[in-house]
Structure 1
Amino acid sequence: MLDDLFARLREATAPAEIATLQDGIWQIWLSAGHPLLDKRLETGMRALSADDYTLAIQEFGFLVEAAPDYAEGWNKRATAHYLRGEYKAALRDVRETLRREPRHFGALSGWANMLRALGDAPGTLRVLLRLEALCPAWPGLQDQLRTLREELG
């Protein structure tokens, strides 16, 4: 089912269709496959929403330890590190996310944002090109690519 959603995402052009397909993919990604793990994911996401990054990192760290192949545990922990300003830890977890799910558009988008904030325009462009391969019509993506290409000459 995930492969089908990604195939449709590559072809989608309407923002509403892209959003619907992304939502379907997130529904799959947000299931850790075990009630205890799902509960820890939920607790971590609530902590993230409440800006309690320490608790979020603990909960997502539990997921990473208990289910190291579960890409979303790595991605959520990367998000918590990013929001806490810990880019090095966030980038490490993004790489782990993408090792497990190379199509993870959330991780790619976050990675591009971090590289942009760090002033790495060439790196940002490379990551956004990976995102473009997943969904060329991603809202705002073509503008970002154009801006980066102009900056880089």
Structure 2
Amino acid sequence: MRVLPVIPLLCGLVAVDAALPGMARAGACPPPPDHSEALTRLIGEIRAAPDEGSGQALSDQMWALWTDAPDAYAQELLDEGITRRGAYDFEGAIKAFDALVAYCPDYAEGYNQRAFINFIREDYDAALPDLERAIELSPRHVAALSGQALTFFALERMPEAALALRRALDLNPWLSERHLLPALEAGEDEL
């Protein structure tokens, strides 16, 4: 029996059999969990929410769905990236999210999180393709839509920013970014 080495991945320990020459990683990433029914229910509830506090509680439940990774390995990578982002280790976070996207190319949150890091670093051009992919994989990903709106805004692409924000607000009218819509719409008129 061959024992696979355990090497550090960022700050966690993960068995990395893909690093061994001539061997493939044991198993591929499974499909992301299907939370479509729960998301539909939450979108209905958040649209009917009576106040911002209620809306925020429902938004937190949406985040729990989006951050439910396809398997334990993917969850480790996601959690590692989020932890590193929280510690302002953006390079380490990018490495974790790069690994997550490579392992689970059909999991929207890997792209969304990597885009967020690039947004924080003000690399808006790098953030956009990841946001587009996240939205392609999860069209009702409110955070990716609002992130796309903010990225377009930073790039002074007001019509696209307003469109993305309207799409996000249609799904969650309690987003804090809702206050930007009048400015974005005014920017649309100026162009």
- The answer to whether the superposition gives a TM-score over 0.5 is yes
RMSD of the TM alignment (CA)? 1.6
| Aligned counterpart, 1:49 | 86
Structure having the larger proportion of residues in helix: 1
Q: TM-score, normalised by structure 1?
A: 0.90
Distance 2:48 2:106 in 1: 28
CA distance in 2, matches of 1:145, 1:3: 24
1:97 is aligned to: 134
Q: TM-score if structure 2 supplies the norm length?
A: 0.74
- Whole-Å Cα distance in 2 between the matches of residues 39 and 152 of structure 1? 42
Alignment of 1:1-153 (within 5 A): 1-139=38-176, 141=178, 143-153=179-189
Query: C-alpha distance in 2, partners of 1:139/1:148?
Result: 14
Instruction: Tell whether the 8 Å contact from 1:11 to 1:135 is kept in structure 2 after alignment.
Output: no
- The answer (yes or no) to whether the contact 2:49–2:55 under 8 Å persists in 1 is yes
Higher relative contact order (Cα pairs below 8 Å, separated by 6+ residues): 1
Distance change >3 Å, CA 144–CA 97, structure 1 → 2: same
Q: Sequence identity, in percent?
A: 33
Q: Work out the CA distance in 2 between the residues paired with 1:112 and 1:22.
A: 18
Alpha-carbon distance between aligned partners in 1 of 2:153 and 2:52, rounded to the nearest angstrom? 24
Structure of higher CA gyration radius: 2
Q: 1:151 to 1:36 in 2, by over 3 A?
A: closer
Moved over 4 A (4+): none
Higher strand share: 2
1:13 and 1:148 mapped to 2: Cα distance?
25
Matched residue type, 2:145: L
